[in-house]
């Protein structure tokens, strides 16, 4: 089968690109031809997606959209597998070439800002069906910024996206939460498929944790990690604010490692500079953007992974990575997170109505208990298959069926 994979970038920018770095080589290893089509080639300081530049490809940077689209049209794909694209007109042009399957990694076409979150009076997930009433609530509930021009332009763009989604043969996603999102927006349940999740670090060689049966509270250092994009809805500020409460609950030294960058990084660093010096034996380390190998190294030396997102995470692949490393996760009960985080077994869920630093601190403290550390090592003994091959076995029938339409 000739499969055209489309994404906004050819570089590792986030979780979508980590997934594509596993998917593209695996599809080729299964005997399929893959063309990679992308809009941009940035951020330039990030490494390319594995496999994205090893075969036929086209980009807007290679002569503009007309040239890039003509290259793909000449390749004659059987099916399109579309991920995140920034411009609806590119989706429209692609869908004129071949039937498509869309992977809904986020709230594509169902929210003006794409966050599915209101922030006034506090940050809360939104369950509203996208439509004109979203314009009424946008400013009073602080769904996004303060510019009416941006609000209207983004509303038009998301409306176009939602209409384009109706042209795809199928939608696929990692979580039941996201599947329900599109069923609520009128999509036929036969066209929206939940696929098994993939561990983004599957192809990164693993080493073994040396203290896997000992909770952090029994060691001289308690290590907490945050891995991901740093923006306001990812909740790193709440994690920093929770440190004084965590400090009271644990003995020995306390270390927080932040692996990631983003628009809220400077504010969180300033907050850490204010809080950190007030806490004895506490260190806060900001690594900036980290490669998969660096992220694995962080997980292998941490006791708890904090996923303090206050927006409804579509899934949260970082939790799968943590589980495979035997690391419990503390997170708010939002979005698709409760689908993989079983409270008391592989971590602890904090209340999200509203999300607070105190609730997060309590969840982290529970993750340090011997009971959860014993439970997670029993649970992660290979009973769930997060391999890319298992994922592809269920993806291929969807792509093949679409290609026949």
Residue 250 clears pLDDT 80, i.e. is over it: yes
| Cα(298)–Cα(392) distance, integer angstroms | 28
Burial 235-268 (b: 16+ CB within 10 A, else e): bbbbbbbbbebbbeebeeebbbbbbbbbebbeeb
Rounded (10°) CA dihedral 276, 369, 363, 115: 90
**pLDDT tens digits for 266-317?**
999 999 999 988 899 999 999 999 988 899 999 999 999 999 999 999 999 9
pLDDT band at 380 (very low <50, low <70, confident <90, very high): low
What confidence score (pLDDT) does residue 17 get?
93
What confidence score (pLDDT) does residue 388 get?
94
Q: For a pLDDT cut of 70, what percent of the chain falls above it?
A: 94
Question: Interhelix angle for 15-29 vs 317-324, to 10°?
Answer: 70
Residue 136 clears pLDDT 90, i.e. is over it: yes
pLDDT band at 241 (very low <50, low <70, confident <90, very high): very high
Residue 200 clears pLDDT 80, i.e. is over it: no
Q: What average pLDDT score do residues 314-329 get?
A: 90
What confidence score (pLDDT) does residue 218 get?
44
**pLDDT tens digits for 209-236?**
544 444 444 458 999 999 999 999 999 9
The reported pTM is 0.91
**pLDDT tens digits for 354-378?**
999 999 999 999 999 888 877 776 5
What confidence score (pLDDT) does residue 202 get?
63
């Amino acid at each position: 089968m000739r499969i055209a994979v489309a994404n906004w970038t050819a570089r590792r920018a986030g979780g979508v690109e980590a997934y594509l770095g596993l998917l593209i080589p695996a599809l080729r290893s299964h005997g399929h031809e893959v063309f990679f089509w992308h809009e941009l080639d940035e951020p330039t300081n990030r490494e390319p997606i594995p496999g994205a530049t090893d075969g036929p490809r086209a980009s807007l940077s290679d002569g503009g959209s007309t040239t890039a689209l003509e290259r793909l049209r000449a390749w004659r794909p059987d099916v399109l597998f579309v991920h995140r694209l920034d411009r609806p007109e590119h989706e429209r042009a692609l869908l004129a070439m071949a039937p498509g399957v869309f992977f809904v990694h986020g709230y594509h076409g169902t929210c003006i800002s794409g966050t599915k979150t209101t922030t006034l009076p506090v940050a809360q997930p939104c369950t509203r069906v996208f439509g004109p009433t979203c314009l009424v609530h946008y400013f009073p509930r602080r769904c996004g910024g303060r510019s009416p021009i941006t609000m209207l332009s983004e509303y038009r763009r998301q409306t176009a996206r939602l209409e384009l989604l109706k042209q795809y043969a199928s939608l696929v996603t990692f979580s039941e939460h996201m599947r329900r999102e599109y069923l609520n927006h009128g999509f036929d349940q036969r066209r929206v498929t939940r696929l098994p999740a993939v561990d983004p670090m599957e192809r990164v060689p693993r080493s073994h944790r040396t203290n896997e049966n000992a909770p952090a509270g029994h060691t001289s250092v308690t290590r907490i990690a945050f891995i991901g994009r740093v923006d306001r809805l990812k909740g790193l500020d709440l994690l920093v604010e929770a440190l004084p409460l965590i400090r009271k609950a644990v003995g020995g030294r306390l270390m927080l490692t932040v692996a990631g960058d983003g628009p809220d990084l400077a504010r969180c660093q300033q907050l850490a500079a204010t809080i950190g010096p007030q806490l004895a034996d506490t260190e806060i380390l900001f690594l900036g953007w980290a490669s998969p190998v660096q992220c694995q190294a962080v997980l292998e030396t941490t006791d708890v992974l904090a996923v303090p997102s206050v927006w409804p995470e579509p899934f949260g692949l970082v939790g799968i990575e943590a589980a495979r490393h035997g690391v419990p996760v503390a997170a708010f009960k939002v979005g698709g997170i409760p689908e993989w985080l079983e409270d008391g077994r592989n971590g602890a869920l904090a209340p999200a109505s509203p999300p607070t630093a105190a609730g997060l601190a309590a969840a982290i403290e529970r993750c340090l208990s011997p009971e959860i550390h014993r439970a997670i090592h029993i649970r992660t003994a290979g009973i769930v298959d997060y391999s890319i091959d298992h994922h592809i076995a269920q993806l291929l029938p969807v792509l093949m069926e679409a290609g026949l339409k």
